[in-house]
A and B are shown apart, each in its own frame.
Chain A
């Protein structure tokens, strides 16, 4: 059994198929990625087409509902963008999450960063 394995492995080596496999596998990843990016380009084009042709208003500040919500007299956010109410509802704070990443690396897991 083990002799058969050896022979097979030797055969593969001499044929150089090892290298062939490696190339094929790299190419496959590239091919998959290229297909995906082609699809992305098509979706992106549709986004810009809709921006130019479907949406009647093209700037956020011109949206009538934006004008309504920020109206200085009666608007829900009458103290303006980055005002008091905005800060409470629409802004946030972030958390340092590096400790768990560090613990992972200390365990011997290699990451790209």
Chain B
């Protein structure tokens, strides 16, 4: 069964115990494809390509697709659908009084969700989002931003260790790559496995919140881990893959039971009849809910880097960082590099990169032994998670009638091209 969610089609499918490597998380509906080629243009790996003389595109193999969903958010015709959706199962769990349902929304969700309710692009709706989750019936309003802060502590400490012990036996190599982005992680595993020792051993924030909810969270609230149902709420399609990784069971259960994205959360709020715009701002539940500015900037390209530097500066220099704004690592697209001067230490060399074709360049540099950096942040989506494959579709991207006509003419013309 298929369903339309915020202008995107979804297959109603909540897989359990399935190898995520065999799932098409995004695929093209051949009846809606107008053969314009935008998807192929934005795909970093070449996983989506023309499969016939009509120029109809398909994701050719799950092994080549990093599940980033950039093809989906950039398709002018809404021809690309999602293959996995937990919405129905989640509604069931929310109704079940015996299940402790835990919300775990990512930073970028709160900068996209409002758009589905008519707010201007990017409007921050964190308070309303927490209120809506409470109204939907979630038992604990925990927040993935808390574990973004945990990630900084873990990944920052790991980086400081690699820098201080560089060259010593048993030390992991520099540069250290970030590991928050599941599209990037699958990319490096698939195309550059020899670089895996460079990837931070830290799980992503959601990879940390799942097991913390079912251990620490269960302990703090007196909940039974077996009764807990953890819901990862993401601006992303690739997070659905991450949640299904077989090794994600360190809490003694599945760490993440369901993953939905921003569009699906908006759908659920509407379906439940909640008046989103008139909700009051509410705080998350404490313990696994409180977060900082360093955590919220994980939602944008350069944010993990800036948040990590806010820690690394203080640890390495022993001094207080008075102005937390480290604007030199903020970036819109492409690759940005910077030298950050840290007193009592020296220079920390960093690179921030979004888009998988840019990531490819930095990978080649590291392989050639020419990378001068200590720390490299990589996000699969240009601009970072705010532009994730699970975010609301930009109305400007969807084609006008004129564009649609041109594409149809194009398609007819291409169809007549003699086969070589």
Residues of A within 8 A of B (CB): 5, 8-9, 12, 17-18, 21, 24-25, 28-29, 32-33, 35-52, 54-55, 57-66, 68-70, 76, 80-82, 86, 88-98, 100-101, 103-104, 109-113
Contact = CB atoms under 8 A, between A and B. Distances in A.
Nearest to A5: B416
Contacts of B394: 35-36, 39
Interface stretch (B23-31, B86-94, B226-234, B306-314): B306-314
Given A76-B219, A112-B46, A59 B292 contact: yes
B293 A58 contact: yes
Contacts of B185: 94
B37 A21 contact: no
A100 B45 CA distance: 14
Interface in B120-157: 120-124, 126, 146, 148-150, 152-154, 156-157
B363 to A, nearest CB: 9
B332 interface: yes
B410 interface: yes
A35 B251 CA distance: 43
A82 B293 contact: no
Contacts of B300: 43-44, 47-48
Given A82-B158, A104-B63, A109-B61, A32 B74 contact: yes
12 contacts: A25-B36, A29-B36, A46-B123, A50-B111, A55-B293, A59-B311, A81-B154, A81-B156, A91-B201, A92-B179, A98-B190, A112-B360
A28 B76 contact: yes
A67 B108 CA distance: 24
Interface of B: 21, 36-38, 41-47, 60-61, 63-64, 73-74, 76, 107-108, 111-112, 120-124, 126, 146, 148-150, 152-154, 156-158, 161, 179, 185-186, 188-191, 193, 196, 199, 201-203, 207-208, 211-212, 215-216, 219, 247, 250-251, 286-297, 299-301, 303, 307, 310-311, 314, 321, 324-325, 330, 332-333, 357, 360, 382-384, 386-387, 394, 396-397, 403, 406-407, 409-410, 413, 416
B251 A89 contact: yes
B112 A43 contact: yes
Given A21-B409, A33-B74, A91 B202 contact: yes
A95 to B, nearest CB: 6
Given A47-B299, A50-B293, A92 B203 contact: yes
A21 B55 CA distance: 14
B17 to A, nearest CB: 18
Contacts of B208: 89-90
Contact of A55 (B219, B292, B310): B292
Q: Name A's interface SS.
A: helix
Given A60-B310, A100-B63, A37 B152 contact: no
B166 to A, nearest CB: 16
B153 A60 contact: yes
A95 B188 CA distance: 10
Given A43-B386, A58-B294, A95 B189 contact: yes
B287 A91 contact: no
B124 to A, nearest CB: 5
Contacts of B290: 63-65
B118 to A, nearest CB: 15
Contacts of A82: 154, 157-158, 161
A24 B205 CA distance: 42
Contacts of A76: 215-216, 219
A92 B191 CA distance: 19
Contact of B286 (A42, A65, A94): A65
A42 B163 CA distance: 35
B211 A90 contact: yes
A68 B71 CA distance: 42
A35 B395 CA distance: 9
